[in-house]
Chain A
Amino acid sequence: MDRNLALNLVRVTEAAALQSARYLGRGDKNMADEAAVNGMRRMFDTLAIDGVVVIGEGEMDHAPMLYIGEQIGKATEDSIKVDIAVDPLDGTNAVAKGLSNAISVVAVAPRGCFLHAPDMYMNKIAVGPKAKGRVNLDAPIEDNLYNLSKALNKPIRDITVTMLDRPRHEELIYKVRKVGARIKLFQDGDVAAAMATCFEDSGVDMLVGIGGAPEGVLAAAALKCMGGEFQGRLYPMNSEERIRCSDMGLDDINKILTMEDMAKGNEIIFAATGISNGELLKGVVYYENNRAKTNSVVMRAETGTIRFIEAIHRLDKKPEYAK
């Protein structure tokens, strides 16, 4: 895939973040999300790609833009056909309340490479490159912690596990505490938490627990670029969701989904921009004279290059579609 797409994907998440961050702390989840969707969609329209949204804002009747199946990009005859996975705002609550760790994310792969994950729960485990191949979604948490500790060459008490702060994780929390590892609970932002496992400085070693399946595909794309590991299993809560799984052609719901199942191949590009301050990316800061600063990361699985981009924008000099 065209490597120039990498910086353009950063432009997409930057545009979403710059729009959405205006709603920080304003108590309006929907507006924060809508702003991110608008920013993302308008920047996408300027890219020479033939894209189809595979992971997006929901079904067509639920979302006016970036809905699943939507064609986006300024396609020309020789444009590459791609799958697009987006979460314009990962952490709507975080932005509405001015809390940390909200990001805007996008991943792109050749057509057919992303799993069309239904909008339901997924049981997940994620670790960074050093622990790749050392954990298993089906193994007891105690075993995973033990193996992780060996792979990272640090005692279990120095290991930090991150998971969503939800009642459904009560038992998991109990078990992790019993073994003696540290826990970092988070409210919102499943993709950012999975990514954090790949950066030593984040202080986060492993993500476990049940979160969104669409976010799982985005996390799998990101961890593939970074050389980490991600496994998931769909977690339908009722028969209706189970039917949806089989409707989408997923026969064996119990199958462990590997990174390869969720984000196939090596031609994956992933980008994210911070909206509010987080472990990995700083949030948007607005300065005097119509300037703003964003922090982003962009990665390509093919070359393994990871670029952190701190950009200073002149908001008054931006083209119309980026305003």
Chain B
Amino acid sequence: MDRDLALSLVRVTEIAALASGRYMGRGDEKGADQAAVDGMRAAFSLVNTKGKVVIGEGELDEAPMLYIGEEIGKGMDIEADIAVDPVEGTTLVAKGLPNAISVIAMAPKGCLLNAPDTYMKKIAVGPKAAGKIEIDATIEENLNNVAKALNKNISDLTVIIQDRERHKEIIEEVRRVGARIKLFSEGDVAAAIATAFEDTGVDILMGIGGAPEGVIAAAALKCMGGDFQGKLYPMSEKERVRCANMGWTEDKLDKLLTMDDLAKGNDIFFAATGISDGDLLKGVVYYGDNLAKTHSVVMRSKTGTIRFVEARHKLDKNDILKELLRKHN
């Protein structure tokens, strides 16, 4: 795919973040999400690709925009799969908490897994520990192997885990082995990405989170040369039925999903913009004189280039933004 898409995708997440950022702390999760969806949809209409949403806001009957199967973009030739999470962490935005981001991943048609809306058991690490994790191995084995790969003591290793009741056993076991833990309330993709950057202080992600987010995280980690493994993990009968309807029958559920199963090939783009301050990206800051600043990252698996983009926007000089911010003011 054309390398020009990289900056186009940053514009998409930047605009989503600039719109959604307006809802910070306003206690309005729906508003925060709607603003990001509106922003992403408007900005994507300028992207030169024939895109199809494979991971989005839900099924057609649940979401008016960015629903699964929706065709977006203005291109005619290049057919692409799109995975989006316009706001990862709507509660975070609503409460003004850290780590909310807007994310998008893109790959040639058929390359991103159309994951069912269910849970996924996950493990993720950065480039230095790539190839050293196994989702079926014990926690102790994984921690030992990652510690060795990073050339640090287990006591200096930081595991990031979502703060949920279902992770009680994982947390106990990590503590028993002696590693440090960073719990997060929301933002599975951001947490997975953090493992690929040493300065975040996060070495490994473990636990059970959303399957769609797993696909986005796998796309990102592929660009960065990290590693990701997942297994679908339906938690209710309803989810099991949903999985079965999409071909994930009981006998297939135990399949190990590698990065390549989730995000195939080597032509993957990923972009994210911070909405609130996080480990990796700073949140949107609004200044006087209609200025705002965003902090993003964009990556391309083909060349392995990772670009951090700090952008200063003139909110009154960009037509899409003007229109959006009139609605979400």
Binding site for B on A (CB under 8 A): 3-4, 6-8, 11, 302-314, 317-319
Contact = CB atoms under 8 A, between A and B. Distances in A.
A305 B4 contact: no
Nearest to B48: A4
B253 interface: no
B109 interface: no
A307 B311 contact: yes
Contact of A310 (B6, B307, B311, B313): B307
A6 B11 CA distance: 12
Chain B interface residue number, banded: 20 to 34
B142 interface: no
Interface in B221-266: none
Contacts of B163: none
Interface stretch (B29-37, B65-73, B203-211, B297-305): B297-305
B interface, by DSSP: helix, strand, loop or mixed?
mixed
B309 A308 contact: yes
Contacts of A314: 303-305
A306 B1 CA distance: 26
Interface of B: 3-4, 6-8, 11, 48, 302-314, 317-318
Most buried by B among A8, A313, A317: A317
B305 A312 contact: yes
Contacts of A311: 305-308
A310 B297 CA distance: 9
Contacts of A306: 311-312
B109 to A, nearest CB: 21
Contact of B310 (A8, A11, A308): A308
A79 to B, nearest CB: 14
A7 to B, nearest CB: 4
19 contacts: A3-B7, A4-B4, A4-B7, A7-B7, A11-B3, A302-B317, A303-B314, A303-B318, A305-B314, A306-B312, A308-B309, A310-B307, A310-B310, A311-B305, A311-B306, A311-B307, A312-B307, A314-B305, A317-B302
A245 B165 CA distance: 77
B317 A317 contact: no
Contacts of B311: 305-308
B241 to A, nearest CB: 43
Contacts of A312: 305-307
